[in-house]
Amino acid sequence: MTSIREMRDGVRNKKLKAKDLVSEALKKAHDAQPKYNSFISICDESAMKAAEHVDKLVASGKDPGPLAGVPIAVKDLLCTRGHRTTAASKILDQYIPPYSATVVEKLEEAGAIVIGKANLDEFAMGASNENSAYGAVKNPVDPTRVPGGSSGGSAAAVAAGIVRAAIGTDTGGSIREPASFCGITGIKPTYGRVSRYGIIAFASSLDQAGPMTRSVDDSAIVLETISGKDPRDATTADIAVPKWSENLKDNVKGLRVGLPKEYFADGIDPEVRKVIDNAVQLLKAQGATLVDVDLPLTPHGIAVYYIVACCEASSNLARYDGVRYGLRTKDAANLLELYEKSRGEGFGAEPKRRIMLGTYALSSGYYDAFYKKACQVRRLVREDFLKAFAKCDLIVGPVTPGPAFKLGEKFSDPLKMYLNDVFTLGAPLAGLPGLSVNAGFTKEKLPVGLQIIGPHFEEQRILDAAHTVETHL
């Protein structure tokens, strides 16, 4: 498959037709659906109409945009005007938004064409994409294994070669983990870099959308398209969006690369450790300086994250009550029963679990002990990273302790599943940009991602380091 750069330039130069690119992507999506279940909805009609519009713009000499004719998939957590948006939940099974998320609007204005809504863990809650009301997604690298979550459908669509790019969201690692498991690149930008308007909320102080692509260059191009201040989202930063793709370089000479001992402790799969060590030595060979740093609160990140995220989820998901939003039960004798049955029938096990945890932690007598304390420790997690960045320019390590695990292997043990997030939670808790780039494979040919975390709004720095790893490995 050609790169995004080659696709868009081919369409703009009339060497390629957007209609042909989209037609091919749609065929691949339908053919692969029984194997990987990467989509909840495939948008045949609207995608072909959009492709024809791009081709007409090119034919008339008008600018079709920087992503002209590029087929993309969008996680079904992002609202798409006129297209069903489910968050992979029965409670939103028939929801058709009257508006699109800012990210979707920016992509379409740039000429990109949404061919489908990608599967995910319900309300983005999960690390394996087995929590979807529409069935588990399977990893194209090995269909007996999970693709990672919660953006597993987006990762699978890219890894299977259906699309060159997809949009995921990352609350606690939901872009980086599936990118690692599927052998692609995925970047979670700095919190506030990309608008959350029109993205169905899980944990509002953590959620952030980002690209999942076949290469670092592709990620840079998509990221600069979707980034920027949005008056409809007060949490977006009023800061210029650099041309990361134009400034991308294979050069880490003089860069101080931090190695947190907490990310290289016992418990990491030896095969994963070998791949990560090899990538670290590559960076050193290319001129980077290796620096030991400490992130002492890493072991507490899981507790902090799951209290903060579940509390925010409890608040955000309260609106789905069968009256204001969401599925309404057909069998209720009174208002209380309507609420109980609508939510009971609409939500899956994982959202119920997190709603109950969050509601408990926010309840009278427990708020100070749980939520308030978690917020205080979250601030200390951020300070750990800031202290580390006083000694280094980037932090690197594994994305997860092991490679993609078997379908069903951890599904019945939520705690075991949550522990898989130990290395990815720090970046969102601190609002930092983080990236996963494929750094190699285990003996079983399972991909292993190198995680690269940078200071706030230093996406160029992590993209350059990832580009160096990609180029030389």
Q: To the nearest whole number, what is the mean pLDDT of the chain?
A: 97
Residue 1 has pLDDT above 80, yes or no: no
The tally of CA atoms less than 13 A away on the side-chain side of residue 173 is 32
Q: Does residue 471 surpass a pLDDT of 80?
A: yes
Q: In whole angstroms, what is the distance from residue 117 CA to residue 94 CA?
A: 14
CA 403/CA 401 separation, integer angstroms: 7
Per-residue confidence (pLDDT) for residue 201, from 0 to 100 = 98
Tokens encoding 172: 């606690």
100, 128, 132, 150: the active-site residue: 150
- Please give the Cα distance from 77 to 103 (Å, whole number): 11
Amino acid 458: pLDDT: 98
Q: What is the pLDDT of residue 2?
A: 84
Residue 120: is its pLDDT beyond 90? yes
**In CATH terms, is domain 4-247 a member of 3.90.1300.10?**
yes
Of 24, 189, 225, 44, nearest to 117 by C-alpha is 44
Catalytic residue of the set 174, 219, 227, 245: 174
Whether the CA torsion 88, 236, 185, 1 is positive or negative: it is positive
Whether the pLDDT of residue 178 is over 70: the answer is yes
Residue 272 in tokens: 């994963």
The pLDDT tens digits of the residues spanning 217-239 come to 999 999 999 999 999 999 999 99
Q: In Å, how far are 204, 336, 451, 467 from 435, measured between CA atoms?
A: 20, 45, 6, 11
CATH topology of domain 256-297+377-472: Amidase signature (AS) enzymes (3.90.1300)
- Catalytic (active site) residue 89: no
Residue type, 457: F
Nearest to 180 by CA among 438, 469, 445, 453: 438
For 60-73, what is each residue's pLDDT tens digit? 999 999 999 999 99
Q: Is there a catalytic annotation at residue 352?
A: no
pLDDT in tens, 186-224: 999 999 999 999 999 999 999 999 999 999 999 999 999
Rounded distance, CA 287 to CA 281, Å?
A: 10
Mean pLDDT of 26-38: 98
Instruction: Please pick, among 75, 117, 188, 410, the residue that the annotation labels catalytic.
Output: 75
Task: Check if 4-247 and 256-297+377-472 are the same fold.
Answer: yes
Q: How far is the C-alpha of 473 from the C-alpha of 469, rounded, in Å?
A: 6
**Which element (helix H / strand E) includes 428?**
helix 426-430
* Digit-coded pLDDT (tens) for 277-333: 999 999 999 999 999 999 999 999 999 999 999 999 999 999 999 999 999 999 999
Dihedral, 41, 45, 51, 57 alpha carbons, nearest 10: -130
State the pTM of this model: 0.97
- Tell me, yes or no, if 150 is annotated catalytic: yes
Q: Is the pLDDT of residue 470 over 90?
A: yes
How is the chain split into domains, by residue range? Answer: 4-247, 256-297+377-472, 302-369
Helices (H), 260-348: 270-285, 301-316, 335-346
